[in-house]
Structure 1
Amino acid sequence: MHPTVLLDASRLLSRTERAAPTGIDRVCLAYAEWLIAHPYYRMVPVRARKGQLALVSNDWFRDRISEMRSRWNGLSEAQDRPQDTALLQALSATQRPQYSVRSPLPVSTETRKKRHVARQFFRARRTALPSAMAYINVGHTGLDEPELLNSLQEAGIPRLLMVHDLIPVTHPQYCRLGDDEKHARRMRHALSLGSHIIANSAYTASELGRFATANDLPSLPVDVAHLGLESHLGQAEPLETARPYFVHVGTIEGRKNLAFILSLWRTLAEQMGEQTPALVLIGRYGWENEAELALLHRCPELQGLVHQAEGMSDHTLTKIMLGAQAVLSPSSVEGFDLPAVEASALGVPLIASDIPPHRELVGHARLIDPLDGSGWMSAIQEYSARKPSAPQYTAPSWAEHFAIVEERILNPLATLHQQG
């Protein structure tokens, strides 16, 4: 009999209509696909509802996973989306365009609430959960309240949880008001009610250890397993342009240090004139980004130079990354930084901030202090004049990640489950 693993699909189910995923969304999708295809473990999808778990229709869930994969990778699309096409045209122009390609400014929180239509039914039903060997949650969902983990603990089901970062706790200035308290609750519940932790980097594991010590919480078993990359990464031809450009991939939010980069680009425009390279920001608007939005949408020196797009398929994203002089990753803080790893795997030069996760994962990159303006300016001008060759890089893989999860956590749990 195959051991049952409960996979918390709450985050994935809230993303069923998104055009493009976040980094954590990609992790959730990778786990779903791995467990669906696993020859031994039987995956049962569940979602959190008011502190309890509800079963999700297995067939319906598998269909949604297939749809999300097809939409997010973009390999099956006959043509680029309108905004993608506009961006590709702007980058391919022989002269600097008069206007930038940008997504509309985000609406207010209140307007978002009014427009949001909550999807109350995800083919989930309240019923007795099957006897399970383990519960897996890799999306941070439902951990801010204790009821969910408490009920699993009472049922004798081990709780395997992934921690992606502690940024809202360690750097609350970059997050929404109240997110620090909410995330601290998640971490307290994970450490006091979880059974095993997966950390996406040694840095994240170290920060979690500090949090546990500072809050007098138990130290759970923690395994560091670097995240893998999409299997179709690199299945695109580089975008060929007459003018050089650079790329940043990630949510447009304060911790990404983009206000610093945009201010630097304004100085570059003053110094280099028509020779100024373009900058492409690929990502959704996030939080605490007023300075970034003011520069992006209102600074005349950046018009036609700095572009922004969201909801881009992986195929188009890869094409744009491959054609760039370099990918920029100037973040003040990260837990893992998947785009930096992806750029390195693609052989694209990387200029990144000198922070612990970058030293751990992409130490070969041009690492510069995140506030060293002259250092960043010099590197960008140098790379703009001549695109350097990227060093050989061996990227972490999902196969390696899941081998750690299976060999160190699931297989021992399966043995105990069978003995019980």
Structure 2
Amino acid sequence: MTTLRVVVDELIGDAPGGSLRYAEELTRQIIATAPPGCEVEGIVSNVPQETLDDLTARLPGIARLVRLPLARRELIMAWQSGLALPGAGGMIHAPTLLAPLRKHDRVNDGDQIAVTIHDVVPWTYPESLSSTTVIWQKAMAKRARKHADAVVVPTHAVADRLAEFVDLGDRVRVIGGAPATTLRLPADADERAARLGLPGRYALTLGSIMPRKGLVPLIRGIARPEAQSIPLLIAGPDRYGEGSATGVAAAAGLPEDRVRALGYLDDADLAVVLDRATVFVYPSLAEGFGLPIVEAFKFGTPVIHSDDPALVEVAAGASLIVERPSRPDDTDGYAERLAEAIGRVLTDDTLRSRLSILSADRARAFSWRDSAERVWQLHADL
């Protein structure tokens, strides 16, 4: 029996985020697509039995979970130092950089390690992460350069940019993600829409007001006449640092009902909000994949986004693209371009209909099953 061991420690966190969603969806499909004669084990830090039982329930079909002797914090430090731990060998796939990256013998012992780097933010926008996270990510990327047999990235754009910072040679493989399988319209969609107070038409975005996400110029763009007075709903946290999205809106002279922070939404609420949005706007300046636009595609929602290379690659012509600021002080210009794009979608019925059709069609290109099968093929090639 051939065993693929997946590091599933990312699943023990309760904070919502793309890496948790990616790890859980991919692992489930790796289990579901296991070739004949193959099985999947999970590797996890030293968690309580209750957490282990929960993980087993969330990953149906997993052969077993291997609990390592160290708690998560200690495991992170141990693997950063290259410390060998019992139970962390064999054929390993890590949906993040958290992996036992150390010298091993792939040819004679059959050991192999594939890790995942989701973006180049630690190098390009380090201020958007904690200093500890930046140091750890860079250190683990260096370990991957020395010891990983393959490095998975979500887009060719990330592969190209990553090569500027870490020389991984020909070991990089592009395997993207897909919308969550749990992101679907619930039977009580009307009741949820009423509870959320969704207006008849609205622009939707996702994220916080950290500079990299581009929400501040978007909010300022909503204040411009080109945006046709459409309300902006924001899925995600209202506050970032000392500021808030509603505070930015107030400073831009917008009334309270023009910009609303919805906070974190469960998948059912998010599906309703995405499905009923007039347009989804994603002004982020730097992404690795851009899962939010793929989620919007799933519901045939017209999408506007920045010309970040990863977003352009993922959208593949199914969206309206807005040029990012050419320099840090060009936020007013970016706000104007975003407002103009929103105005175009709102006033041009033909464009809006075409974007909706392209969006729904593009969504069919993304499948967790396909991603998982490519992971199996990657390890077979190694």
Whether these two folds match at TM > 0.5 is: yes
- Which residue in 2 is equivalent to 1:378? 340
2:273 is aligned, of 312, 320, 324, to: 320
Give 1:11 shift. Answer: 1.4
Q: 1:23 to 1:4 in 2, by over 3 A?
A: same
Cα 1:298–1:358 change in 2 (3 A) is: same
Residue number in structure 2 paired with 1:247: 204
In 2, Cα distance between equivalents of 1:191 and 1:302: 51
Pair 1:405–1:55, CA change in 2 (3 A): farther
Aligned-pair Cα RMSD in Å: 3.6
2:379 match: 410
Deviation per CA, 1:289-344: give whole Å up to 9, x if none. 74746415776624122111233111111111111111001111111000111212
Q: Which residue of 2 aligns with 1:193?
A: 147
Distance of 2:175 and 2:245 partners within structure 1: 33
Q: 1:258 to 1:153 in 2, by over 3 A?
A: farther
Taking structure 1 as reference, are residues 266 and 288 closer, same or farther at Cα in structure 2, changes over 3 Å only?
same
Report SS of the residue matched to 1:211: coil
State the match for 1:61 in structure 2: 55
Residue 257 of structure 2 is aligned to residue 257 of structure 1 = no
Q: CA deviation at 1:47?
A: 2.4
Which deviates more from structure 2 when the two are superposed, residues 38-47 or residues 251-260?
A: 38-47
Match of 1:225 in 2: 175
Match of 1:354 in 2: 307
Decide which of 129, 153, 157 is 2:87's aligned counterpart.
129
Name the SS of the counterpart of 2:318 in structure 1: coil
Q: Tell me how far apart the structure 1 counterparts of residues 105 and 344 of structure 2 sit (CA, whole Å).
A: 56
1:46 partner amino acid: I
Matched residue of 1:244: which SS? Answer: coil
Pair 1:290–1:399, CA change in 2 (3 A): same
Instruction: Check the 8 A contact 1:3/1:42 in 2, yes or no.
Output: yes
- Quick check: 227-236 or 202-211, which moved more? 227-236
Q: Which runs of 5+ in 1 are unaligned?
A: 67-117, 414-420
Aligned-residue offset at 1:58: 6.4
Corresponding residue SS for 1:206: helix
Q: Which runs of 5 or more structure 2 residues have no equivalent in the other structure?
A: 61-70, 75-83, 326-333
Tell me the amino acid that sits aligned with residue 282 of structure 2. S
TM-score computed with the length of structure 1 as normaliser? 0.69
Displacement of 1:175 in angstroms is: 3.2
Letter in 1 for 2:57: D
Q: Residue 162 of structure 2 corresponds to which residue in structure 1? A: 208
Specify the code of the residue in structure 1 equivalent to 2:230: P
Aligned to 2:256: 303
**Match of 2:291?**
338
Deviations 1:54-95 (A, max 9, x none): 9998655212557xxxxxxxxxxxxxxxxxxxxxxxxxxxxx
The structural deviation recorded for 1:386 is 5.6
**Within 5 A, what are the aligned runs for 1:144-155?**
148-150=100-102
Instruction: Report if aligned partners of 1:45, 1:55 keep a CA contact under 8 Å in 2.
Output: no
Distance 1:289 1:266 in 2: 22
2:28 maps to what in 1?
33
Q: Does 1 or 2 have the higher relative contact order (CA < 8 Å, sep 6+)?
A: 1
Give, in whole Å, the separation in 1 of the partners of 2:246 and 2:212. Answer: 14
Q: Is the Cα–Cα contact under 8 Å of residues 6 and 42 in structure 2 kept in the other structure? A: yes
Taking the aligned partners of 1:247 and 1:151, their CA distance within structure 2 comes to 47
Shift of 1:28: 0.5
Residue number among 37, 40, 43 corresponding to 1:46 in the alignment:
43
Q: Which residue of 2 aligns with 1:77?
A: none
Structure-2 change in CA distance of 1:135 and 1:378 (3 Å): same
Length-normalised TM-score, structure 2: 0.76
Deviations 1:191-232 (CA, angstroms, capped at 9, x unpaired) = 2121111110001111222222xxxx4525111112122235
Question: Structure 1's 292 and 309: CA in aligned 2 closer, same or farther, altered over 3 A?
Answer: closer
Aligned equivalents of 2:50, 2:148: Cα separation in 1: 22
3-state DSSP class of the match of 1:46?
strand
Percent of counterpart pairs with the same letter? 19
Q: Report what 1:401 is aligned to.
A: 371
Q: Distance in 2 between matches of 1:315 and 1:54?
A: 29
Residues 254, 289 of structure 1: 8 Å contact kept: no
Q: Take 1:295 and 1:358, find their aligned partners in 2: how far apart are those partners?
A: 25
Contact 1:191 1:220 in 2 (8 A): no
Amino acid at match of 2:116: M
Partner of 2:78: none
Amino acid at match of 1:349: P
**Aligned-pair CA distance for 1:149:** 1.6
Match 1:176 to one of 127, 130, 134: 130
Contact 1:254 1:287 in 2 (8 A): no
Give the CA deviation at 1:43: 2.0
Partners in 1 of 2:157 and 2:297 — Cα distance? 19
What does the per-residue CA deviation read over 1:93-117, in whole Å, with 9 as the maximum and x for residues that have no partner? xxxxxxxxxxxxxxxxxxxxxxxxx
